[in-house]
Amino acid sequence: MATKVYIVYYSMYGHVEKLAEEIKKGAASVEGVEAKLWQVPETLHEDVLGKMSAPPKSDVPVITPNELSEADGFIFGFPTRLGMMPAQFKAFFDSTGGLWRTQQLAGKPAGIFYSTGSQGGGQETTALTAITQLVHHGMIFVPIGYTFGAGMFEMEKVKGGSPYGAGTYAADGSRQPSELELEQAFHQGKYIATVAKKLKGVA
């Protein structure tokens, strides 16, 4: 039976979504792994999104809390708002109380990826503060550490991401994920899918 890895994300301007797509490719590259993309529900009204110049959402399905229980592993992604996950993703986690009461997500591996506007915009604090959500569910946080190798030590090019997970810098919104950032995202998907497959194999 396939190991199911869900890449669950929120993306307002598309930067996180691009990372998510690459993460899915990485996860799906592991034999016996079924990777699927999901979005969390939007909480802002369309009029507000329009004033923020947010593009229309893609056709990636919107996940409900109970659908999380079907997965064997997760990779959660979101942009940063003041050094933390945005309200949209927090609202989604807040709606998982039923899963928390029954600890249906306990013991399942989960990774985190993110986007910030600048190099000091919260690449690591966003991951650190998001870990609390995983802890209360009993999930196992899986960082990528330095398994990405030489790409972790790139100093000549601007590169998002850290040992906590893949990342990108959006700047004023015009900058898109670089090839190196996308390679790190692919690596994260493959790495966490491998861990999820191993854990499922010994469960």
Type of residue found at 164: Y
> Could you tell me the residue range of the domain that residue 80 belongs to?
3-201
How do the pLDDT tens digits run along the chain, 203 residues long? 899 999 999 999 999 999 999 999 999 999 999 999 999 999 999 999 999 999 999 999 999 999 999 999 999 999 999 999 999 999 999 999 999 999 999 999 999 999 999 988 999 999 999 999 999 999 999 999 999 999 999 989 999 999 999 999 999 889 999 999 999 999 999 999 999 999 998 76
User: What's the count of helices (H) and strands (E) in the chain, helices before strands?
Assistant: 6, 6
Provide the CB-side half-sphere exposure for 71 (13 A, CA): 28
**How many structural domains does the chain have?**
1
Residue type (1 letter), 101: R
